[in-house]
Structure 1
Amino acid sequence: MMDSSRRRKNNYISLVLLLCLIILLLAGCWDRTEVNDLAIILATGVDVSKKEAIELSVQVFIPKPAEGGQQEGVSSGTNSSQTLVRSAEGVTIADAMSRLQEKLTRRIFWGQNEVLVIGEKLAKRGIEDQIDFWMRHSEPRERADVFVSMDSAKEVLESMPELERDSAKQLRKLVDSQIGVKVTVKDLSEMLSGEAGAAVIPWVAKLSPSNLGVNKGKNIPFIQGAAVLRGDKMVGWLSDKETRGILWPRNEMKSGIITIRTNGETGYVSLNLLRSNNQLMPKIMNGKWSIRVKTDADLEVIQNTSNLSLLHSKSLKEVERKVVQEIEDREKLALSKTQEKLNADIFGFAEAFQRKYPRIWRRKSSEWKEIFPKVDITFETKVNIIRTGLENEEARKGGEEK
């Protein structure tokens, strides 16, 4: 009986000692950082300064108490900007970052940074060092969206959008619309280190002045096409139409409106893209390299101002034929510029050949810059209009008097 009591007592003491040890190992709040002690970065811009140094600009969030009944993104009649922009120069982006910290009373916090804007001058000089820093540093987000700007990156951060809270949110909303290309820092790093060594990045065009309210006269950012990089240097840019053409081979065309006009018709038919699937079919035969771009797309008619009745199979086939032609024309437009003029494989052709012909690719990969401009490209496009909508044929023909 005594042994049993002693064992229970020893077990109890052991349990107490174990709990004390666990308490000592628990993390406390001794190293906490208050939000009020942080400079929260929303966007970053990198430029070449007048002294040919690296100029780092950051868009810092300014916390403000919410006004009663005021919703985010709705102007109250006064300048409701909640950001400020600060810059510093250095011989490297890391050096500029340390100098930037000297200008801010709060510790820089990169965890909310979702936008990286690179000035055109720096993009043409080369961005390898900047992307390398971004991937190495533990704080900046690899999922931040990347842009190249015609104006300086600092000017883009300082711009005032009309509907969104700041330029960072404006740019994110634009690329999330899936109308153009969307590239993160991680995507860019993978493209530059890939077999092709080329990349495409959304292009922020010349800033345009706003005409609305308190922002009147202030610049607003918008995206117009894409910048093309070969190696880590910008070699050209694509227009909006050319950019939409590269989305099909890259299998990134998720939404969009296609408007066509058939032969002999004065009106137009507009169709909304519902789904698309794209494949690259590479082939090497007798030393000749070729690739087939295979596209399957489902669309719906959203407007018909022509006299065509899409209830008739002949008219429907004619519209599908014109849509196929429109898609392939867009692809050819983008391909002709990137293949013949820029010699930049931004479509993933190199990876497609490497996957199908690994042995040949190991021997020929160093010659890709000479091979790519000569690759024969063909198209196999299949379009299916699955919804034509209701239509009033009498109204389309002008109706009849009764």
Structure 2
Amino acid sequence: MTTGEKIAEKGAAAGKPLAEFQFPSPEVTKCPYPFYEALRSEAPVYKYPDRNDFLISRREDILFVLRQPDIFSNRTYLADEWAPGAERRAELELKPPGGVLETSFGLTSSDPPEHSVKRRALRSLINPRYIHSCEETLRRLANELIDGFQSRGSVELRGEFADPLAMLTICELAGFDPNDREIFLSWHRIGTGHGRRFLSAEQLAEQSKDQPEQQAYCERIIQDRLANPRDDFLTEVIQAQIERDGEINLPYLIGEIRLILTAGNETTSRLITNVMKLLIEHPDQLAKVVADRDLVPNAIDEALRYECPTQWTSRLVMQDTEIGGVAVPKGAFVLMLYGSANRDDTWTDPDKFDIERPSVRELNMAFGGGIHRCLGSPIALAEGRIALEVMLDRLKNPRFAPGHEEERENIDNFQKRVPKKLFIEFDTP
């Protein structure tokens, strides 16, 4: 969809009452922002009909949720059959007194105090000095991928550049075998644990069929590092868990390694794809960043705000409470719509894509917030910056390839923002 078409579509939907929207629906998946606008205007804390879900659309209300993990729990598996780890509810017993309070569930399904322990175990992966030391390697990977298609003058950017670059980056940083990248990229990535509750039966079946293979792969990684320790992050995580807890916790380690492998690349791929799409859609902004590379970090931040790669996550309400004056009962789920918060009245002219927007990094909610703020955000920002710098250096005069308008529409998942495919053309050297 061209910029003009998007403006026309939003203009046609502007002022549309909330009652006329269906959620989720193809309309909202394609362009959720009119729906978000209606939510903020009519019901900032919106009870979803016939479900125990509340949609939270304003930044101040989302921050209220994020800052109270004792009330709003990340352990959604306690009440959600589709949540990560729900199939292991019987394992909820804590370890004996005197040990670390820890279940076998992963970081993204944990609350304090075990959340703090698990987060510390992964923190060395995102050490700024370590990431900086890898920047030249990441730049080399980006250039090698472009070497493979630059002479053609065209590329499907998501599949041939963004996806493999993000995957190769996490392989490089964590210690996965880069030769296995085709295996990783073959796995379906159509919904996070938070989003599974809103997927169709067909989508759930597609996503679920790869999980046994993913689990088996991660278990092989663990057994290999136990038998053959290496100087890499995967070995460090495994050894640290055993030293900390006195014995191996295989379900926990499998979950964490799957998290590193999948969450560590998927959102970054969406960011890289989105920023190029947005710059082509806004040629005035593309011209600015081409002329002044100091604007690259701002362009990445604004792309994250404007097309938040993960539109929302959820929490389980642990006690009766209120959000924005609306009663929310114990046992309900709250969906924090980051994509809406990034377009609310916190911002001046929020529907404008402006790479010179002030304070965008400080106010941006693309990485969430509170104790669960995305641990991998420094990796995503560094990788996005390097990818954009390399693309601007080597893909001169980028533009959309004709005939692929429908493929530039969003994937069939309202929780994620990324085009199905992004075919572009550029001048050859």
Structure with the bigger percentage of strand? 1
Q: Tell me whether the two structures share a fold, i.e. TM-score over 0.5.
A: no
Question: What interval of TM-score do these two structures reach, taking the shorter chain for normalisation?
Answer: under 0.3
> Is the radius of gyration larger for structure 1 or structure 2?
1
TM-score norm. by structure 1 comes to 0.23
